[in-house]
Structure 1
Amino acid sequence: MIRFRPTSTDIAAIREAARREAKFERVGQVILKVGRRQSLASGETSINFALISDDPDWQDTDLDDYEPWAAFTRGVELTADGRGLLDFDIRRRGDRRLDLHGNVSIGIIEGKLTTISGYPTIYRGDGS
């Protein structure tokens, strides 16, 4: 089983992209939760959508629940060829209602973080 464990540089880049996407002043305001999706065909669930879907738009999945940021930072199982696709909800630290302030998604290819994107902004991408 191939796993991806983000480096401190990866973590900083994701959190900065989330700050920019949510238009927060400081990275310290960002709270991220990783979405867990369920395959509409098989019923399987995963925070790495690439394990349960080949659809780049996730149309054959539905949001199941959320996992804490630590579920990502501890390491994520990848596909056999080292792919990953994850989506994070952005919330503001200290917000009692925990309103949604946006999303960022990441792409992992051959075990390396390659893309960080919001909507419609791509914060980091290598063109793969």
Structure 2
Amino acid sequence: MDNYVTYSNGEVGEVEKVYAIAVTDNTTLTANDSGKIILVGTDAKTITLPPSKAGLTFTFVNIGAAGNNILKVSPVSTEGISGTITLASSVVVLDGTVNKAAINTKATSVSGDSLTILGTGLAGSKAWVVTASTGIWAREA
């Protein structure tokens, strides 16, 4: 019955679950956003992660026009994102540098580029790990 709500008049309705959210501005996520797909179609937006907790997951998808969007996924200042992004022509390693974002580069971006990360609950460089990706991503300089 978790998907239903009982109103004050006794009627029962289905709870709407949102699995994807479109963002058009800089956004700070919360743990309650875990499991959602974050759609970004506006250039130069930063999505800030909540503090890492084991099991939090987020998927980011660039829905902007090819070559038009920089998508920046930024951990809190004491955490990093680590993992390997493999493409047919290259391998990019996000080394977990603390306070550095993962960036879907503008010049090579295409609609559908994505990044899925998992919170570990660990401090520092291993706070977030990449579990899946498409497109070209880099670590913030």
TM over 0.5: no
TM-score of the superposition, structure 2-length normalised? 0.29
Q: Which has the higher helix share?
A: 1
Q: Which has the larger radius of gyration?
A: 2
TM-score of the superposition, structure 1-length normalised? 0.30
Q: Which has the higher strand share?
A: 2
Q: Which has the higher contact order (CA 8 A, sep 6+)?
A: 1
